[in-house]
Amino acid sequence: MTIDTDMSLQATVLAIARTLVKDEDAAQAWFRGDAIASFDGMTAAEMFAQGQGGKVLCFLLRVLERESCS
């Protein structure tokens, strides 16, 4: 994945996070600081650092789907 693609993917993940939490600061805080149990406690930022941004996107899409169906 190129840096441009990775940045675009990160922007997409942050946009979805903003949709879920309704706040830019909260979305950034989640991305950088909230451990995600299904990623062995890593944050979204740590997943991106390991080249696993696509998994974060899939995770958030599942969350978004659950939120929109309830």
pLDDT in tens, 28-42: 999 999 999 999 999
- Going by pLDDT thresholds of 50, 70 and 90, the confidence category of residue 67 is confident
The predicted model gives 9-35 an average pLDDT of 95
Long-range contacts of 12-16 (CB under 8 A, 24+ apart): 12/57, 13/44, 13/48, 13/53, 13/56, 13/57, 13/60, 16/57, 16/60, 16/61, 16/64
pLDDT in tens, 42-51: 999 999 999 9
The count of domains in the chain is: 1
Query: Domain range spanning residue 45?
Result: 3-69
What are 52's two structure tokens?
A: 């696993």
pTM: 0.86
